[in-house]
Amino acid sequence: MRLLAGGVNHRSAPVEVRERLALRPPQQIAALRDVIRLPQVAEALTLSTCNRLELYVVESPCSGTLLLDQLVTQITGVPLEELSRYLYVYEDRAAAQHLCEVASGADSMVIGECEIMGQVKEAAELARTAGTLGTVLTRLAELALQAGKRARTETGIDEGCASVASVALSLARQICGDLKRTVVLLVGAGETAELVLQRLLEGGTKQVLIANRTLERATELAKMYGGTAIALHDIYEIMTEADVVISSTGAPHPVIHAEPMRTVVRARGGRPLFMIDLAVPRDVEPATGNWENVFLYNIDSLQQIVHEALREREGQLPRVREICADQAEKFWAWAASLELVPTMLELRARAEALRQQELEHALKQMGHLTVKQQKHLHLLTKRLVQAIIEEPLTRLRAKACEGDGLTYLNVIRELFGLDRSPAPFPPPSPESNDEGDQP
Amino acid sequence: MNLPPLLLIIPACAYLSSGLLYTWRLISRRGRRAATVGLASGSIGALLHGVFLLLQFTENPPAICATVSGAASLIAFLTAAAFLAVERPFRLEAIGSAVMPLCFGATLYAALNFTAPAVPDTLRSAWFFIHVPSALLAYVAFAFAFAAATTYLGEGRLLRSKRLAAVVGVMPSLDQLESTMYRTTTFGFLLLSIGMATGALWAQDVWGTYWSWEPKQTASLVTWLVFAGYLHHRLVRGSRGRNGAWLIVVGFVCVILTFLVVGGLEHDLHRFL
């Protein structure tokens, strides 16, 4: 058995290439059904997200080598010469480890993000629907998802906040506690501000207030987020009630000044006020952050936190890779045990056939032998074959338990010529048996 | 059987290691297991401490709270037990790094300064059963409020210096800490008021005067005023935040002074507690 994995990801290919390669679920199913028709392919799985397209294939035995880059060309329609620059291919254990690393988020653009787990699960489901998911890839997907889970519980790869919006959410939770009781004030509406607001709304808010230079835009946004539009000059008054302020106007000068905030802070009676200034140039005068119980964060400080979290996650990568190697090892040992039994049976059958053939030949040559003599010859050959073949098989079984069974298995298959088909020796026929026993 | 007071060193050490583990949890990002071990260590300490107190009680009932050291030991036990019980359900493990060292200090003090109880007859009164428990429980509540307040101040500082990673998933929200501060202080204040009122009535019974400005009474009054100030601020002016937390810290320092310094003074009337 051979496992092949290949594809492109955000590191190997620019977005222009990736977007041409991306496959929607129906296309993936069609592609999988296409691929499985090839005689060399036993099982197949595609993983298509915005950052990667990958193809996992299990080669069926005894049918020649498979070229993965050709397969990818076939399913995506991107010519080989262009694709080969971006394509990476992994084989066997490395392929298994790659899927584990993908599932654990070690290979993601934002390290440790957890959507990838769901995407791997969906990919397996798609392949199942397409009918191209066999025992091998099912097991591989299982072990890869397990690797993802282990990476997230045993290491800190998913710790910390990996985006400005999630930093804002964490801070809001930490400062205001239960978000269902918080009043959020949005001043101006940049793109990031909306992302942050959406994230806060996930946590639940009591009320959303929106102030903008033009009331029209404020009303429009208010309609979108179920909030109330207010006039920009009312913000100080409103801030005595608000708990979270997100500011992102395009104004060239500060919109919220430190001095008027003195009255606001006093009126709030020490309730903490969480202010997020996403605007450049800044909307909130930096001195505002010096007031008691005001927690002011600008875009730089939020991004700083994101960078730190990502650096921290990167530090976890060696440990994650260890886990993935471990899972790949498990997969490989399992795959070896899967192939062990047929190989052992095949080897025994091959030896038995040889014995029968040679015995028959010898009996013919020797002319008349008594039944007792024939029986002795029979026993002799049997014992000889057993003595030669059982030792390697016992050792092979032991190696399979240790995890490098597949290597040995392949060597045995190679040395005994088990992959050659059709078998050079005809299977023993009952006639020949009878003939041999005849006096 | 006479229990050697130095045995208290054992629970004291358990409290200390528990406190250190809780602190490790706060400092290290990967110390999740430390809090669990801290909880276990503290629980073992509290269990041994409880057994010690029980034996002490069966041997000589007044001994467990009729001397400064006895009261310190009892307060430490009650604080530790209460904290370990509420730590998980209320997700308050962050304040363990303040609570457990307090328990350690009080227990160690009790172990090293053990004084044999000499309970004068005047103390054998029904008032004892209201005055002493309410005062002790008030101190326990104030210890909690103090731990929450210091954590509140620390967390505010970390958030201000943008060290989010040190806070998220490790400390409760500022809001939760603030309400913990408020509730425990209210509870403690009520108990302290009851303690002081019953103390005055009791004093009238045995000494013939409600109030005599002796050091313990005076110090208690100062403590009472500080916490009253906090509650006034919080209730009447709706004020929360750092100032309140600092008032609680000051109030707790008063508690310690009342308890140790004044309690330790050789004074005729209130020598025992």
Q: How far is B239 from chain A (nearest CA, A)?
A: 4
Q: Is the pTM of this model over 0.90?
A: no
Nearest CA to CA, how far is A244 from chain B (Å)?
Answer: 13
Tens of each residue's pLDDT in chain A, 439 residues: 788 898 899 988 888 888 888 888 888 898 888 888 888 888 899 999 888 999 999 887 655 567 778 888 888 888 888 888 888 989 888 999 999 999 999 998 888 888 899 999 999 999 999 888 888 899 999 999 999 999 999 988 888 888 888 888 889 989 988 888 899 999 987 788 888 888 888 878 888 999 988 888 888 888 888 889 988 888 899 899 899 999 988 889 999 999 999 999 888 888 889 999 988 889 999 999 888 889 999 999 888 888 888 888 899 899 999 999 999 988 888 887 777 777 888 888 888 998 999 999 988 888 888 889 889 989 999 999 888 888 888 887 777 666 566 677 778 877 887 764 433 333 333 333 333 333 3
Does B5 have pLDDT greater than 80?
Answer: no
Cβ-Cβ contacts under 8 Å, A293 against chain B: 156, 240-242
CB–CB of A271 and B29 under 8 A?
Answer: no
Residue A4: φ, ψ to 5°: -125, 140
Smallest CA–CA distance from A266 into chain B, residue: B239
Q: What percent of chain B has pLDDT over 90?
A: 40
* Rounded-to-integer distance, Cα A81 and Cα B182, Å: 71
DSSP state of B173: -
* CB-closest option in B30, B165, B242 to A160: B165
Collect all residues of chain B within an 8 Å Cβ-Cβ radius of residue A309: 165
* B173·A167 Cβ contact <8 A: no
pLDDT on residue A426 = 36
| 8 Å CB contact of B240 and A271 | yes
Helix runs in chain B, H state only: 9-27, 32-59, 68-86, 96-112, 128-160, 174-207, 215-235, 242-256, 263-264
So what's the pLDDT on residue A62?
A: 53
pLDDT of residue A402: 64
3-state SS of chain A is CEEEEEEEECCCCCHHHHHHHCCCHHHHHHHHHHHHCCCCEEEEEEEEECCEEEEEEEECCCCCCCCHHHHHHHHHCCCHHHHCCCCEEEEHHHHHHHHHHHHCCCCCCCCCCCHHHHHHHHHHHHHHHHCCCCHHHHHHHHHHHHHHHHHHHHCCCCCCCCCHHHHHHHHHHHHHCCHHHCEEEEECCCHHHHHHHHHHHHHCCCEEEEEECCHHHHHHHHHHHCCEEEEHHHHHHHHCCCCEEEECCCCCCCCECHHHHHHHHHHHCCCCEEEEECCCCCCECHHHHHCCCEEEEEHHHHHHHHHHHHHHHHHCHHHHHHHHHHHHHHHHHHHHHHHHHHHHHHHHHHHHHHHHHHHHHHHHHHCCCCHHHHHHHHHHHHHHHHHHHHHHHHHHHHHHHHCCHHHHHHHHHHHCCCCCCCCCCCCCCHHHHHHHHCC
pLDDT in tens, A347-372: 888 889 989 999 999 888 888 888 89
The verdict on a CB contact (< 8 Å) between A174 and B167 is yes
Q: What pLDDT is stored for residue A150 in this prediction?
A: 93
B2 pLDDT more than 70: no
The residue in chain A having the minimum alpha-carbon distance to the alpha carbon of residue B240 is A270
Give residue-wise pLDDT tens across range B65-104. 777 788 888 899 999 999 999 888 888 888 999 999 999 9
> Which of B156, B164, B244 lies at the smallest CB-CB distance from A171?
B164
Task: Note if A62 is an active site residue.
Answer: no
pLDDT of residue A161: 83
Q: pLDDT for A135-190, tens place per residue?
A: 889 999 999 999 999 999 998 888 888 888 888 888 998 998 888 889 999 998 77
Q: Do residues A272 and A176 make contact, with C-beta atoms less than 8 angstroms apart?
A: yes
Q: Which one of A175, A177, A312 has the shortest CB-CB distance to B159?
A: A175
Q: How far is B262 from chain A (nearest CA, A)?
A: 34
B-chain residue closest to A171, CA distance: B164
pLDDT (tens digit per residue) in B146-198: 999 999 999 999 988 888 878 887 889 998 999 999 999 999 999 999 999 99
Q: What is the pLDDT of residue B227?
A: 95
A159 part of contact set with chain B, CB < 8 Å:
yes
Contact between residue B176 and residue B93 where contact means Cβ atoms under 8 Å apart: no
